[in-house]
Chains A and B, each alone.
Chain A
């Protein structure tokens, strides 16, 4: 068969499944299952990236695969939206797979062969989710994704906390899946055909369309981590091994975003404006919530998990703006917002995966996840530290890296809002912009805490002086992702051109970014706003170089080493540096009502004084525990039916028989 983008993508999916199965051949052999197979998986991911980029310029391709049940074959379709997300999966998975080839070592938790199988099935199922063109394929792929990731999360299943985290994850994934299933049920609009083409052709009255949107937001929001369905994220992401956390945080959350975009912009044609307002409000709240919680965490992976919640909130805010504009027929602005949201998707995939993988290396080298026991690792692990710095700066949204570009685009979209016809929304959108600005500032705070406490300062535990740097395979993986961050930051015009094909297919118009200069980004109009990361980076580099040369030429470069300033306290220990709790204390003070704080204070009479602080999420008390209690109550009440006497059970059957016969009359 001819080499079309769709066949290449399907080939990659099949290759991943084959690699996974091959892992079962020699499950204990780390060199085979670990290095070789993961390496092959990385090559396949690169092919997927190439296929995604290739197909962005191609017309839409669709196939019916000769698989599945009779009368329910699998439909697949490759359109611009799907190609973008496939490129995202490919680019991120390439880096993570190379890293994993070096990361998984013998004697830790699961068998390498089993890990290989679960990992590659996970990747293949995510590809199928993006390719799916009918509800059946979508749900099969979605469930496979959930199951594969569940097994990956519970790799170290002998630890009870990890088992509990896995259970919570599976539970919420299925609650979301029910929402998605019901959404598809509403979308078919009476035709009882579950292909996406049929759903596109069906026109729903506004009430049913809104119900479908609400179900989609609920279902996909549970997978993406929108408040209040976010509680599984901070438990599951830290519990999984680091490459899996990176894959979940960087890629799996984006498939949920893909789902929202697919349902609201493609299957429901034109979103209503007030859906956008709801999504905007929800996204803004999620973003602030995630940032505030991330700032007070003491476990490095939980911190990154909450930070993922924050970024998902930002993306959903962008989607909300896009829906708002599209509903009010302001298509050019809708294109701008949608591009900003999708750009942030791929940016987040790159820098979040980079940071999770760096924490993986730290965990490997030190065995510690607790921020209070790390520190000073920049001296022992220079490669990891400097690459993590790239990820940190990108996540904090600093120019000229990629995080800044998508945030810049989103702020430009916010600036156009005075032209809205509805007054209340007109006023609420600047509040959304204010919340967004607050989130960006908080994420810088979180990143300084993360990087500073782990890599800078002095080692808080003696064991840390034995830490070793990452291996060469891991370094390649990290470098690939860091390169992605830099490239996406320096070439925004190229990325926006690629995203414009998606805009044209979903909304009808593109941004029409003036591309007479490939190095200057002017999304709407050169008078209005422009940004050139290359000129910026070049300017900074020149300024720094000139300063350095002038200072060294006119003066000298002598350096002496001595002790740091101790203000007269002679016994400075490394434990006198800020702990993670200490660094988060201002946020705790300012945002007190957000948390449920439990403190254990020492008294003057304690022989060994202890100070403990536990910060809880209030959503447990407000939402989850009441539901869990009512479920238990109901189960208890229903339990009265079981009395253990045979006569009673015979009576149940007899009563049912009598009732049915009475109805037949």
Chain B
């Protein structure tokens, strides 16, 4: 059934996208409760975060479970510089760039590593960043965090309410998805996917693994940083406990549930996970049990995620089907030297 939806989408792409865009812009005018709007804004935040993680995990096959660390850098960069009176609009970009540099640094020692070793290093970095933020009180406020983060001006209005802030976040979500889409369908994206499928084969075909792995980390980190930067003014307060390992797992679960390696996967994942936790709010402790069961069930029933198709490599791998065909098709566009 999901395959049928995909077919439907492929044929009417432009119209569907325009309609969705119109609906997205109209949404704040249809909903008048700020509390509902802030849930929607939160969903959008996680769309960016999950997409950025998806770039790394889903497209290049590198296993990053320390994504919270990148989000942390973005959030703190914006918050610290905003208190030094830098303009907030600019800071979204600056935060992304700074995080991207950190992403580059993290990628350096990991270029030779794969699988669980890579995952552990990313985890280690994420925790180190969090603990440094917790302890470096003079810079980050330590356990007291940073409060009073200002919101940006938006056509002469302070964008502090969920209804107004929504538009800023929506803008960045569209930018994120758009740029991701372009990059994935470019030479860079194809290089990533070849690394994901079989990096030895890719190397033998002349793909510079190190360079593309780094670019991949930098791109994913950039958007994670932007996402983190967007969150800070909305909540007006950040501290290191917001970027724990559990938060990283939270983002990871959205990517997995939504579907790795597809553009719409993180969107679906963010919506599903955030809506579920909201709907089950009344259950208190049981809410997390339900979340856990949801994750386990997804892995049992549909490991490629909700938006992953059964033509996906992941589904095939878990069923043992031939992936050679996929790989060959991938390389039809690339020159074989």
Do the two chains belong together in a single complex?
A: no
Taking Cβ atoms with an 8 Å cutoff, the residues of B that contact A are: none
